[in-house]
Amino acid sequence: MDNYEKNYLSKRPENLCRLCGLCCRVATTSIPYEKLKQMRDEGDQGAIDFLSVFEPYPSIEDARKVSQETVDNVIEELKADGNYNEEEMTFYKCKYLDDNNLCTRYEDRLLLCKHFPASPWAIVPPGCGYEGWLFMKREEVKQKIRKVKEDLLELDLLKKKTKSPEILQKIDTVEKKMLRSIEVHKNHGSENW
């Protein structure tokens, strides 16, 4: 079990899902549709899987007719992060969801379905049962990053006190690792946490 599975996926309480079906009916990705098709044609498994179940709506307006709240929520979140580009925005519906919001291939569903929402930063439809839990997970990440920043200050003090090149080298290695852990979340504002 890798860290992601151990620290996130295995802790996801599946019973929080309210079976509203919105994540299957109005989905989107951070990758533009044209790029996604190119990736699928080049053999990218994630793109192959996604496009094997999801079909694009002809327009954003068509997706709005299904759930205006979901579409507008995604757009607002992306705008807030400075990542919104209307020309590259596509919404999708899954061809395996039936009229009762049930998955017609539930036992055989893809990992991308089993893992949803696959990250604390996933944008879920308003009212999704995972909203509160995802908020909590994001706060956990922020707390960890704040602790890393405190530890970096401690290391800085230690660096000033020591003259041993060996110790300084070790501190440097640890510092780089800690800075990388902050950098990973840069898109979500880790520099300001």
Interface residues toward ligand SF4, by CB under 6 A: 17-24, 53, 94, 96-97, 103, 105, 109, 113, 116, 124-125, 128-130
Q: How far is the CB of 24 from ligand SF4 (least distance, A)?
A: 3
Q: Which is nearer to ligand SF4, 111 or 174 (CB)?
A: 111
Q: Which of 109/144 has CB closer to ligand SF4? A: 109
**Residue 66 CB, nearest approach to ligand SF4 (Å):** 13
CB atoms within 10 A of CB 45: 10
Alpha-carbon distance values, 146 to 61, 149, 188, 189 (Å): 41, 5, 14, 12
Residue 49 CB, shortest distance to ligand SF4, in Å, is 10
Q: In angstroms, what is the minimal distance from the CB of 169 to ligand SF4? A: 47
Per the CB < 8 A criterion, the answer to whether 4 and 118 are in contact is: no
Q: Judged by CB, which is closer to ligand SF4: 118, or 182?
A: 118
SS3 93: strand
Integer Cα distance of 172 and 185 in angstroms: 21
Alpha carbon 25 to chain centroid distance?
18
d(CA 35, CA 40): 9
User: Which CB, 105 or 146, lies closer to ligand SF4?
Assistant: 105
Q: Which is nearer to ligand SF4, 124 or 141 (CB)?
A: 124
CB of 137 to ligand SF4, least distance (A): 14
Task: Give CA separation, 73 vs 53, 64, 69, 80, in Å.
Answer: 23, 11, 6, 11
